[in-house]
């Protein structure tokens, strides 16, 4: 079965679109057949492209996320995706509340997939500067690498 991964943060304009872009790039490089999407627990930014600072950091690392559009997570996501991956603990707690009884997706925290970073959160870079977005990129790309390697097996 083709694995499918949904990344979830709060606004779906900073962290989860970066994780989506990083995993898409990793899957393309490995020739891995993978469905990748992202969503937010909130809906304030629905329909919007990623924050321009997120677009810029991805572009600096060779990944174009300008075509992504924000959406809110919905109950069917827990049936459609094999993996639903939260960027921080609040996102994970909200996902656990939203998950329907017949949801089959495996829930996890993004950094659970990075050796030595298990249980840690990807901080929200929204109130920070470009340096914060570089930290976010480093974290999501490390997780994307580890996830792609695991899903290939």
Size of the chain, expressed as the number of residues it contains: 153
For residue 85, give the nearest of 66, 55, 117, 110 by alpha carbon.
110
Give dist(CA 77, CA 80) in Å, integer.
5
Tell me the closest approach of the beta carbon of residue 42 to ligand 4NP, in angstroms.
7
State the residue for tokens 């393309």.
28
Residue 22 makes contact with ligand 4NP by CB under 6 A:
no
Of 3-11, 25-33, 93-101, 112-120, which segment contacts ligand 4NP by CB under 6 A? 3-11
Residue 11 or 21 with smaller CB distance to ligand 4NP: 11
HSE, side-chain direction, 13 A CA sphere, residue 97: 7
**12 sits near ligand 4NP (criterion: CB under 6 A):** yes
Catalytic option among 15, 24, 53, 145:
15
Residues found near ligand 4NP in the complex (CB under 6 A): 9-15, 44, 124, 126
The catalytic residues are 9, 15, 124
């Amino acid at each position: 079965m083709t694995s499918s991964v949904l990344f979830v943060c709060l606004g779906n304009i900073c962290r989860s679109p970066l994780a989506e872009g990083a995993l898409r790039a990793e899957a393309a490089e490995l020739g891995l057949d993978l469905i990748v999407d992202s969503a937010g627990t909130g809906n304030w930014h629905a329909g919007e492209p990623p924050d321009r600072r997120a677009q810029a950091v991805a572009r600096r690392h060779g990944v174009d996320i300008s075509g992504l559009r924000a959406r809110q997570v919905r109950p069917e996501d827990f049936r459609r995706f094999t993996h639903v991956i939260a960027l921080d603990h609040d996102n994970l707690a909200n996902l656990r509340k939203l998950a329907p009884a017949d949801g089959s997706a495996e829930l996890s925290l993004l950094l659970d997939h990075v050796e030595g970073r298990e249980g840690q959160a990807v901080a929200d870079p929204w109130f920070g500067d470009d340096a914060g977005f570089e930290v976010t990129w480093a974290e999501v790309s490390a997780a994307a690498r580890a996830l792609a390697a695991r899903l290939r097996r």
